[in-house]
A and B are shown apart, each in its own frame.
Chain A
């Protein structure tokens, strides 16, 4: 019904030039190729060797953050803050927890990931590129005419995107549908969904919460990127959404609170054996703009890329981390 996804388009190839012209690409890791290669690098197997391996995940996360800044800067728009708060969670999912094959994005046995907070698309694009779903050369085409990297994820344009999202509140319901489909098929895969805390102001999130518990979807894990900021200001000033763990527990979910930048905590929570018949919520307390000091907890970086001067400072700071 749809043609093959086109990844290369001459119309925006100039964008790569602007990306590299300042030498910001220097020191960037080369594309790592398929996820399995990265996994092999991590030592393979199901047990993570904590010190070395987590430091490797952190290196990937640093590159992801750098690319988020570069691509939103090249685009002149986009959402760096909420992309950076979600980065560590996405890196853990795609490089450790999820079963997937970048060489075969439609492999039926894959775990599914739905980015319900679709505005964090830059983070997802960077992670997918790190996995090898497509070339990192595509990253500077974010939001450019003809690019498969749309401002919000488009499943028909880019491999690895499981659902087109952007209108908040809908992705968790879609994940519920995926989990129901998996149950019906007797599949043993798992569905993951990342929502925002601002997004949890949408009523539909709670419709989905109800439906997941009612249908005993233990093949569904939702992660709440609780960075406490939304476009207009702090959530507690705009529309309070406190006590998330208690809320989700009240809706019948197995809910946990973790530090969303603590790799041991993230991996432990994501790997915890499932409780039969109960969907899981991981409330990840995060920092918007995490990784660059002057961006952290600053509401203005929700939907605003950095200036040239800020870019120089941010990249320098990221180089010193991980």
Chain B
């Protein structure tokens, strides 16, 4: 399996799916903080039967999250969207106190996560959002890898009560999954099997992991690729199986190596089945302005770096 040549923006797929679901379910409402054209909740707002169920809350993210909570208490399924850096950072306490603690039906769907925001620079590049959301009781954390999965996850979380954090990037991502691939909360997808090492990847790094697998295959190394789109709840069985079967794991994420999917995998491996793990991600630094490709290379988010890291971790295999 390899990334396909078709590319889409996840947020566009999200907006279209939300509009479609909103047309069918009158309980779905959406909020935005002056970024509806970027997060694509504008697509929902443009549907005539959804228009009255959309509120632009202006540049006031804290208020937006609590308004979302209030709407949820009246029986609505609430989607609150803005850039990931503001959704999780600026409004963290509001999410903690008014959404996660009372376990309300609010879906925080954020775009422009990670360094691939590009030119806007570090102020807009969250590398800690998964860590923040993952630590909150009641909160579920999901990261689609492509347009197909974005659609499946959007539909799924609108049908599962309680809080969710869904993270998307800004850039086009190549399609990876086949149209109609089902998605289940708490279940990882093994995209390609292998025996020598496992890549556990999320988001844009799933494609890089598949490329790395192809490069390793040329060297006679067989790598498994797991898409861990459901980071919380996480799929313990798939991680333990990877540790047992391949004896070495490399995690890959466009997020800090502290608190993201790398940490989540290490937690499972440390407690349930020991195997060497290496984390590929942002190494505890802030990002900077630049083109997507430049930034991915500068911070080691490439297939080449995954290959090097795989060789390192395989040396440690028992």
The residues of A with any CB-CB pair to B shorter than 8 Å are: 1-2, 112, 114, 154-156, 162-167, 169-171, 173-182, 184-185, 203-204, 207-208, 210-211, 214-215
**B102 and A170 within 8 A (CB):** no
Most buried by B among A2, A154, A173: A173
Residues B131-171 near A (CB distance < 8 A): 161-162
Which residues of B sit under 8 angstroms from A2, Cβ to Cβ?
A: 103
**17 pairs, A vs B, C-beta closer than 8 Å:** A155-B102, A156-B103, A163-B69, A167-B98, A171-B66, A173-B63, A173-B66, A174-B69, A174-B73, A177-B66, A177-B71, A181-B74, A210-B63, A211-B63, A211-B67, A214-B58, A215-B55
Which residues of B sit under 8 angstroms from A177, Cβ to Cβ?
A: 66-74
A9 and B290 CA atoms in complex are apart in Å by: 59
**B74 and A182 within 8 A (CB):** yes
Which residues of B sit under 8 angstroms from A166, Cβ to Cβ?
A: 97
**A181 and B162 within 8 A (CB):** no
Known contacts A156-B102, A164-B98; is A211 also within 8 Å of B60 by CB? yes
Known contacts A181-B76, A184-B29, A204-B63; is A167 also within 8 Å of B93 by CB? yes
What is the CB-to-nearest-CB distance from B229 to chain A, in angstroms, rounded to a whole number?
A: 22
> Does B43 make an interface contact (CB < 8 A)?
no
A203 and B68 CA atoms in complex are apart in Å by: 18
| Chain A residue nearest to B97 in the complex (CB) | A167
The residues of B with any CB-CB pair to A shorter than 8 Å are: 29, 52-53, 55, 57-58, 60, 62-63, 65-76, 93-94, 96-98, 101-103, 161-162
Q: Given A163-B70, A170-B97, A203-B62, output 9 extra A-B contacts at Cβ < 8 Å.
A: A155-B73, A170-B66, A173-B62, A176-B70, A178-B73, A180-B70, A180-B71, A210-B63, A211-B67
**A163 and B29 within 8 A (CB):** no
B interface, over-half SS: helix
A68 and B69 CA atoms in complex are apart in Å by: 29
What is the CB-to-nearest-CB distance from A107 to chain B, in angstroms, rounded to a whole number?
A: 13
**B101 and A164 within 8 A (CB):** yes
**A208 and B66 within 8 A (CB):** yes
Which residues of A sit under 8 angstroms from B57, Cβ to Cβ?
A: 211
A184 and B29 CA atoms in complex are apart in Å by: 10
10 closest A-B pairs by CB: A177-B70, A181-B74, A173-B66, A207-B63, A177-B67, A174-B70, A207-B60, A167-B97, A177-B71, A178-B70
A167 and B101 CA atoms in complex are apart in Å by: 11
Known contacts A184-B53, A210-B60; is A204 also within 8 Å of B70 by CB? no
A182 and B63 CA atoms in complex are apart in Å by: 18
A208 and B57 CA atoms in complex are apart in Å by: 10
What is the CB-to-nearest-CB distance from B77 to chain A, in angstroms, rounded to a whole number?
A: 11
| Chain A residue nearest to B60 in the complex (CB) | A207
What is the CB-to-nearest-CB distance from A192 to chain B, in angstroms, rounded to a whole number?
A: 13
